[in-house]
Structures are given as structure tokens and as C-alpha cells.
């Protein structure tokens, strides 16, 4: 599902986000009570807050960041172009705390599918799902 569709969904109602991850046979989750992706005009800026989960919160750091792609640098790192370095589109801030769009099983661990608290520099998550649902 692309950013435009996620924007259209999350602009009509209040949504929450749940991220399920596995790494080395262990399961982890992170939930965010408020989740929204802004319009293309606003470069798909991320709004995410109110964390709960069984891992450290590695996604809230990306709150209010615009989506970067290898041809569009929207991170705030003045010395690096994070999306080119990690070869993925994401809401980078100063490169990564999490990168769920990374290259699965990359030979360069930091370019993989990462959640820093879980993977550090040991490789990619085995699986990850980002799920949204309308709040009651």
C-alpha cells in the first residue's frame, strides 16, 4: 500500500498503527494510538505518537518527518542523504532508528529491515507487518 492510499485513509478518520516484528525466533510489537500520513503536497509527513509495546520505541523519533526517497532528501541530516545510503524510502530523521522498508537480508546489516533496539547491527528482521485500523 503506497503513501497516497495511506494518506487518503488516515485523513478521513483517526487511526492506530500496530507493528509486529520477529527476529531470531522472538516476537515483538509496537503500537501507536495516533497514526497519520499527510498529503503528497506535504511530502507524506508522518504523525505518530502514544507508544505501547514490548520493545523500545524506535518509531516515534520519526514523528513529523517527511518521507524521503533515493531521489528526494527530506531528512534533517545535513551531511548524509539517508535514503540513498540505505537504499529505501522512509521517514528518516538522522538516518535510522527504524527502517522497515530496508533491504531484506542485506549483506550490509544497517541497510536491512531494522528496528535498532531489536536488530542493532546484527541483520534484518525476519518479518515485519505494519497494520492500521480505525480507532473506536
Residue 96 domain boundaries = 3-134
CATH number, domain of 101, equals 3.90.215.10
Number of domains in the chain: 1
What was the pLDDT predicted at 12?
Answer: 93
Distance CA 127, CA 113 (A): 9
Please work out, in degrees rounded to the nearest 5, the angle formed at the alpha carbon of residue 67 by the alpha carbons of 45 and 123: 125
- DSSP characters over 101-134: TS-TT-SSGGGSSEEHHHHTTS---SEEEEEEEE
| Residue 65 CB-density burial (10 A; 0-12 exposed, 13-18 middle, 19+ buried) | buried
What was the pLDDT predicted at 119?
Answer: 86
Per-residue pLDDT of the chain (136 residues; tens, 9 = 90+): 799 999 999 999 999 999 999 999 999 999 999 999 999 999 999 999 999 999 999 999 999 999 999 999 998 888 889 899 888 999 998 887 899 999 888 888 778 899 988 987 778 899 999 999 999 7
What was the pLDDT predicted at 67?
Answer: 97
Letter string b/e over residues 19-44, b meaning 16 or more CB atoms within 10 A of that residue's CB: bbbebeeeebebebeebbbbeeeebb
What was the pLDDT predicted at 120?
Answer: 78
pTM: 0.91
Write down the residue that cell numbers 495516533 correspond to. Answer: 34
Q: Is the dihedral of CA 93, 98, 99, 105 positive or negative?
A: positive
CB atoms within 10 A of CB 6: 19
Write down the residue that cell numbers 530523521 correspond to. Answer: 93
Amino acid at each position: 500500500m503506497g503513501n497516497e492510499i495511506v494518506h487518503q485513509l488516515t485523513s478521513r478518520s483517526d487511526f492506530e498503527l500496530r507493528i509486529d516484528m520477529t527476529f531470531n525466533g522472538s516476537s515483538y510489537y509496537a503500537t501507536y494510538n495516533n497514526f497519520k500520513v499527510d498529503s503528497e503536497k506535504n511530502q507524506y509527513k508522518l504523525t505518530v505518537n502514544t507508544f505501547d509495546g514490548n520493545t523500545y520505541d524506535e518509531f516515534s523519533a520519526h514523528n513529523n518527518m517527511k518521507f524521503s526517497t533515493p531521489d528526494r532528501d527530506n531528512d534533517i541530516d545535513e551531511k548524509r542523504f539517508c535514503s540513498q545510503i540505505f537504499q529505501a524510502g522512509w521517514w528518516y530523521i538522522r538516518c535510522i532508528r527504524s527502517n522497515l522498508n530496508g533491504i531484506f537480508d542485506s549483506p550490509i546489516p544497517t541497510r536491512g529491515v531494522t528496528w535498532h533496539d531489536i536488530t542493532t547491527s546484527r541483520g534484518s528482521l525476519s518479518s515485519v507487518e505494519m497494520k492500521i485500523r480505525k480507532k473506536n
